[in-house]
Structure 1
Amino acid sequence: MTKLDPSAAATTTAGTRTLTGSLGATAIVFMVVAAASPLTVIGGAAPLGILLGNGVGFPALYAVSAVILLLFAVGLSAMSRHIPRPGAFFTYVGYGLGRSTGLAAAWIAMLTYTAIQVSVYGYIGYILSYTLQTYTGVTLPWWLMALAIIGLVGILGYRHIDLSSKVLGVLLIAEVGIVAILVAVVLFRAPEGLSLAPFQPSQVVSGSPGVGLMFAIAAFIGFEATAIFRDEARDPDRTIPRATYLAVIGIGVFYTVASWGLVMAWGPSGVVDAAAADPGSLILRTMATYLGTAGEVITNVLLITSMFACVLSFHNVVTRYQHSMSTAGVLPERLSGVHHRHLSPHFSSLVQTVTAAVLVVVFAIFQLEPVLQVFTWFAGVATLAIAVLMAVTSIAVIVYFARTRRDRRLWNTVIAPALGFVGLVLSSALIVAYFPIMVGDMDADGAPVFGGVSWFLLGLVAVFPLIGYAQAAWIRTRRPAAYAKLTDAIAG
């Protein structure tokens, strides 16, 4: 049970409390894998990856992404053993590359998790509206349904984290189970038989592999948040690395197999056309074909709960990022508070709830389409931002251990982080190159071009770290005492 340690109740300012607890590796893996949201990925992102990305070859990109991120996780786990702070990316970057870069990393992390969270709010709003209309005939706008979910997530996020982890655990088991059943049935009923066509090099590089890679990496966003729960882990030096490796490997294997099963369910010659007919309902139509009406209904319910688990988990991650940044003195002090009874970062949770609600209202005012615009656009922003952030973190790992010599394992502190860095940089370049295709920026002849939408969304990834650098410079010049506290909180 998570509890507040009275001896550690005060941190940087009076009234601030430290999150402590006894979450094990399994509970943390549930939190971060639920953020990856298996059924949301297979039912939402995978059809879009097949349609807008590299078609039949899309499943292979999950395996590619898993290898890259596993290499990155080696360095991340090494840092977690030597830096006993829960800030994850911004803390590790601060220790390796300095306070200013650490603060820039904090702001790009905030962009990542906020963008991916609101993107899923768009998708869940669509699915709820679609389901309500299908089964009752009542039509309500997607944004109204999304706002209702934001309110429910806010209630759970305000309360005890153990409640969140238990809810996530139950939902995760159910959604993994229904996808596993589908794959098992497809093994015996695939219309074109079973094949390894999705892993053929010609298929992997076909179409728009940069877009496909974006959707594949997006499926892993949140696995690195194991480090965010350090203060609430039972034995952080063992629990955090174990949870990180389990999350990456488990996510990679499951998504590769499940998306392969989705391709086999329609056949390599038919899956792209099936996705083009309506990517949002592809998983439901697949379930109806192989598991009947009951399977379709169950999947519809679980797809909604899967997305709910996703936004709940990201809500918990963002609130803890805000909590860590507040403790470091770079966000208002009140965000570092811990509720006296629920033992949660309650005010930070409230702020994140309001932020999500405001963004959904803005999307509604601009009449953005919930799947092909809200979900796709902001998932793209989040994926590019996290790839850049992880690349910077890889460099920070190498620099930190080269300077301190606290860990002399060459593989853990140099080779694996360097290989991960190369993979992440190449992935980022591919995502940028294919970004106009993803957001639908086209010229008069229908050719992809970097237009207003592309530049605006890519600009967010550039502007947010600049906010961090500017804030660090301002604190160093105007509030030297606060900068000294920032030094202690972010970079030892």
Structure 2
Amino acid sequence: MTHTDSTATNATSSAALSGTLGVTAILLMVVATASPLGVVAGGVPIGALLGNGAGLPPLYIATAVVLLLFAVGYCAMSARITHPGAFFRYIGVGLGLQAGTGAAWLALLTYYAMQVAIYAYGGAVLSATAVSVGGPELPWYVYSLIWVMAIGVLGYRSIDVSARVLLVLVLAEVTIVLVGVAAIVLQAGAEGLSLISFQPATFLAGAPGIGMMFVVGAFIGFEATAIFRDEAKDPGRTIPRATYLAVAGMGAFYAIASWGLIMGWGPSQLVEVLSANLDDIIMLTFLEYVGTAGAVLVNVLLITSFFASLLGFHNIIARYQHAMGSSGLLPARTASVHRRHRSPYVSSVIQTLIASVLLITAAASTLDPILQVYSWLSGVGTVGIVVLMSATAVAVIAYFSRDRLGMSVWQTRIAPTLGLLGLAGIGAVIIANFPLLVGDVDDAGQPAAGPLTIGLLCTIVVAITIGVAQSVLLHRSPGREARRLP
């Protein structure tokens, strides 16, 4: 009798992912990646303090409008390009192999940068929380690596397992924020309720460009809907619906939540309060309006929101690497699919290992987990995602300029062009203010591109260059022709 190892039986080299994810599951996957509670607790206060103060909420609405315009062309492309891979597939078929491979490597840089940034931030928060409740005083990276291992286990298994975990975590964090806003409204805030945040004089005051940097970062992840195409129950309908709902839902949620926080402390006192309590403003807000139980609960859910976000990023990166493996941009083994779990298990393990190495490197470099690792890498990720979306908008226009393939002019020309213009403006603002994010300022406190700014932004150029160089090698390798971008 021949003995067959069960692990070998369950782990195959098939490159085909499959699943029955519906709109809700994919929506939760990408919304969790954005970490709604993490944005409200961290991104909103920092954006308001360094940006345009009480005028932050309209920036979320403006960004959502730009991204919805982008999504029109993005979804039109997803209906025609049925291979997984999203950004690099769309850019590849619209602008050519070199642009596509450059986008593939830039996407990996972007998602890894954002994931490691959140691992560092979450590790620091968990470390401080453990000490505050009498737990062991361990370095931030120990907690980060524990999370890496736990998320690696979930990522190895079926996507349905992750979806069930995220369903609970995301609904809990969204609910607690809305409860907090409701409590503020019922108690009329600190200075009464008003729409002062939406008055031009308010949202144009201060430095709205800096606020925009944190606002755009709050939406990262929505574009990953197309990455789950092979695991969607009905991708032709599921992907567009999940994309539009993600953008519109996040835009409305962030606008309401940020407005509630502003009302809670009063527009006239907001900057002063944030300056003194930036790290724990969300806990203080709940303590003031909901009570001790609310403050404790929001602190717990803040930690779980980091976990949910990291699980979302893990699933996205694992599937991006799987798609690159299927296309010959990474070793074919990366495209392996587990027979029983139907997950890209090899890619998942690779993702876990790389995240661990990057965190260990950051720890060995004695970098501050929030002021340096989180700040620097989230900045790189934000710039990277804007570049990718801008290139995708151009690719949509170029692809459909040859033949609209039954799509409307709105889907193939007007909306993508308007989205591109909006993204170009956002990108210009972010890059102009990038030095402030990493602390490169002149004697007058104005942004000044120093070695750190240039070095971090150059990582984007390096990633694209690696992809372009790889496309040259692919062009010279006839044996790999069948696995080029479609």
TM-score between both structures, scaled by the size of structure 2:
0.95
Alpha-carbon shift at residue 463 of structure 1 (Å): 1.5
Give the whole-Å Cα distance in 2 for the aligned partners of 1:460 and 1:188.
48
Secondary structure at the counterpart of residue 16 of structure 1 = coil
Q: How many residues align?
A: 474
What is the aligned partner in structure 2 of residue 319 from structure 1?
318
Q: Please show how residues 133-172 of structure 1 align to structure 2 within 5 Å.
A: 133-136=131-134, 138-172=136-170
In structure 2, relative to structure 1, the CA distance for the partners of 1:408 and 1:445 (3 Å cut) is: closer
What is the aligned partner in structure 2 of residue 400 from structure 1?
399
Identity of aligned residues (%): 51
- The answer on 1:366 being equivalent to 2:365 is yes
* Contact kept in structure 2, 1:407 and 1:413, CA below 8 Å: no
* Contact kept in structure 1, 2:50 and 2:207, CA below 8 Å: yes
Q: Please show how residues 57-456 of structure 1 align to structure 2 within 5 Å.
A: 57-136=55-134, 138-189=136-187, 190-444=189-443, 446-456=445-455
* Contact kept in structure 1, 2:123 and 2:142, CA below 8 Å: yes
Alpha-carbon shift at residue 354 of structure 1 (Å): 1.1
Alpha-carbon shift at residue 447 of structure 1 (Å): 3.8
Which moves more between the two structures, 15-24 or 416-425? 15-24
* Contact kept in structure 2, 1:284 and 1:296, CA below 8 Å: yes
Give the ranges of 4+ consecutive aligned residues of structure 1 lying more than 4 Å apart after TM superposition: none
Give the whole-Å Cα distance in 2 for the aligned partners of 1:154 and 1:89.
24
Q: Partner amino acid for 1:112? A: T
Alpha-carbon shift at residue 446 of structure 1 (Å): 4.1
Gaps of 5+ in 1: 1-13
* Contact kept in structure 1, 2:404 and 2:412, CA below 8 Å: no
Give the whole-Å Cα distance in 2 for the aligned partners of 1:15 and 1:146.
31
Give the whole-Å Cα distance in 2 for the aligned partners of 1:77 and 1:445.
45
* Contact kept in structure 2, 1:122 and 1:146, CA below 8 Å: yes
Gaps of 5+ in 2: 1-11
* Contact kept in structure 1, 2:28 and 2:166, CA below 8 Å: yes
Q: Partner amino acid for 1:485? A: A
Secondary structure at the counterpart of residue 461 of structure 2 = helix
Q: Partner amino acid for 1:442? A: V
Alpha-carbon shift at residue 205 of structure 1 (Å): 2.6
* Contact kept in structure 2, 1:37 and 1:307, CA below 8 Å: yes
Alpha-carbon shift at residue 218 of structure 1 (Å): 0.8
Q: Partner amino acid for 2:13? A: G
Give the whole-Å Cα distance in 2 for the aligned partners of 1:390 and 1:33.
18
In structure 2, relative to structure 1, the CA distance for the partners of 1:208 and 1:368 (3 Å cut) is: farther
Give the whole-Å Cα distance in 1 for the aligned partners of 2:404 and 2:58.
37
Q: Partner amino acid for 2:427? A: S
* Contact kept in structure 2, 1:401 and 1:407, CA below 8 Å: no
Which moves more between the two structures, 182-191 or 414-423? 182-191
What is the aligned partner in structure 2 of residue 34 from structure 1?
32
Secondary structure at the counterpart of residue 116 of structure 1 = helix
CA RMSD of aligned residues (A): 1.4
Q: Partner amino acid for 2:175? A: G
Give the whole-Å Cα distance in 1 for the aligned partners of 2:375 and 2:275.
15
In structure 2, relative to structure 1, the CA distance for the partners of 1:454 and 1:152 (3 Å cut) is: same
Secondary structure at the counterpart of residue 133 of structure 2 = helix
* Contact kept in structure 1, 2:15 and 2:326, CA below 8 Å: no
Alpha-carbon shift at residue 54 of structure 1 (Å): 1.9
What is the aligned partner in structure 2 of residue 481 from structure 1?
479
| Residues 212-234 of structure 1, C-alpha deviations (whole Å, 9 max, x = no match) | 11111111111111100110111
TM-score between both structures, scaled by the size of structure 1:
0.94
What is the aligned partner in structure 2 of residue 8 from structure 1?
none
Q: Partner amino acid for 2:434? A: F
Which moves more between the two structures, 165-174 or 47-56? 47-56
Secondary structure at the counterpart of residue 136 of structure 1 = coil
Give the whole-Å Cα distance in 2 for the aligned partners of 1:486 and 1:280.
48
* Contact kept in structure 2, 1:52 and 1:438, CA below 8 Å: no
Q: Partner amino acid for 1:464? A: A
Secondary structure at the counterpart of residue 56 of structure 2 = helix
* Contact kept in structure 1, 2:110 and 2:385, CA below 8 Å: yes
Give the whole-Å Cα distance in 2 for the aligned partners of 1:486 and 1:403.
24
Give the whole-Å Cα distance in 2 for the aligned partners of 1:100 and 1:319.
22
Which moves more between the two structures, 189-198 or 249-258? 189-198
What is the aligned partner in structure 2 of residue 3 from structure 1?
none
